[in-house]
Amino acid sequence: MRRRIVILAVLAATLATSLFGIPLAYGVAQFYLDDERNELERVADVAAIAVAADLARGARPTDLPGGAADIDLGLYNDSGLRWSGAGPAVGDRPVARALAGTVASENDLNGQLVVAAPVTDGDRVTGVVRAASNYSGVRMRIAETWAAMLGLGLLAISATWLVARRQARRLAAPLEALSRTAAQLGGGNFGVRTAPSGIAEIDAAGTSLDTTAARLGAMVGRERAFSADASHQLRTPLTGLRLGLETALDSPGADLRVAATAAIDAADRLEQTIEDLLSLAREPVRDGTPLELAELAREVEQTWGPVLATQDRSLRINVHPDTPVSRAAPAAVRQVLAVLLDNAARHGAGRVTLTVRDAGGVLAFDVADEGPGVDGAGPLPSRPDNGHGPGIGLSLARGLAEAEGGRLRVSRPAPPVFTLLLPGAADDAAPRRPAADGTAAAGHD
């Protein structure tokens, strides 16, 4: 690329110099010729005036006024014969034309520039003064000027070459850097970024490449995190499905149709969890549909009731009336609640309570249990180790909540209460959502 830029710049400079210099060189040559011709004509006119009186009396002048050292003067009579001075014995073409009464000139006549001026007496031509100079002197002046012009042209082209090399480096370096950045991006380095070059067009391309790198990095990061999130989030639905099938097998005379129906329901919830995780991993576009609390409460009861029952624990769900409308993504809310309920099941004790309420125009989900609690309120700490390892999934839940414009925090350290806060819908005219059954609270023990 650099070589092409330099070659194009030099060719453009050469073309421009030629288009300007060739006509100028021709004009300079014509200027020198005209200047020399005018000088010869002036000298010939002075000499013609000086000898006009003698020729009018019929006398033959013996001396001609002196001109410049490089100019030869000759006087010719009305028959074209040289009387005095320098020049051919018989007048040449310029002399013959001057005898007709006009000033005549001719270039490069026997290596000379010749001007012939008539000497007149009234309307009668009485003689001709011929002035000649060596044409090689004019050619030398023209050649010297052309050489100077050529030198200036070469100097201009050389300067163009130097400037083109500098500009080629300035233009090519950021493009080469963009190419290297794109290669690193293609190699999987999504943290690579371009450096500003000071060239608006190249910087715009670099900004677009940086944006692409950031989006690809975020996308790949979400895809990589999906496997870890899925292993955690799918554990509970699989456990519920397994428990239902084992209970049916261990109960003599159990209705297998009921067990199969329950297993299908559990499989549907498992499929929903997978769809939620895939949707969250690919940044779903929200359609603004209000969050259905009644459906959400039913799913929580069907999923977590059997899990807690195996631990001889109960689940209670309270949905307060007049809760704010929220347009948060249902997939994100389901997964955050799944993390909090799993945390309560694994690390808590006693009854687990899910409360849905109005927190001053903000939709709040409180997940509480009767366990020993956590250290302090506010930011999310990990649960203490109760034989199952520290609490897991809280960082995932926090990220999902913040992505919906909400917050996840510890409202009460002991007994622990984890609260998910979600913003209400921006439309003030949206109706308040009543409780699922139209009462102040719905409970499930």
Phi, psi of 253 (to 5 degrees): 75, 15
The string of pLDDT tens digits covering residues 247-298 is 777 777 667 777 777 777 777 767 766 766 666 655 554 556 788 999 999 9
Window from 228-232, 266-270, 413-417, 429-433 with minimum mean pLDDT: 429-433
Give the pLDDT score at 228: 60
Summarised one tens digit per residue, pLDDT across range 306-337 is: 888 888 999 999 999 888 888 888 888 888 89
**Over residues 418-445, mean pLDDT:** 53
Q: How confident is the model at residue 23 (pLDDT cuts 50, 70, 90)?
A: very high
Q: What is the mean pLDDT of residues 48-77?
A: 80
Q: How high is the pLDDT of residue 280?
A: 60
70-93 confidence digits (pLDDT tens): 788 889 888 888 888 888 889 888
Evaluate if residue 57 carries a pLDDT over 70.
yes
* pLDDT-wise least confident of 123-132, 146-155, 218-227, 237-246: 218-227
Q: How far apart are CA 210 and CA 213, in angstroms?
A: 5
pTM: 0.44
| pLDDT at residue 271, rounded to an integer | 73
Q: What does the pLDDT look like over 197-216, one tens digit per residue?
A: 777 877 888 888 888 888 88
Kindly tell me if the per-residue pLDDT of 165 is higher than 80. yes
- 8 Å CB contact between 70 and 133: yes
The domains located in the chain, with CATH, are: 2-142 (3.30.450.20), 188-223 (no CATH), 290-423 (3.30.565.10)
pLDDT at position 436, please? 38
Lowest mean pLDDT among 72-86, 103-117, 152-166, 249-263: 249-263
User: 212-222 pLDDT, tens per residue?
Assistant: 888 887 777 76
Give yes or no for residue 402 having a pLDDT over 90.
Answer: no
Mean pLDDT calculated for residue range 334-345: 88
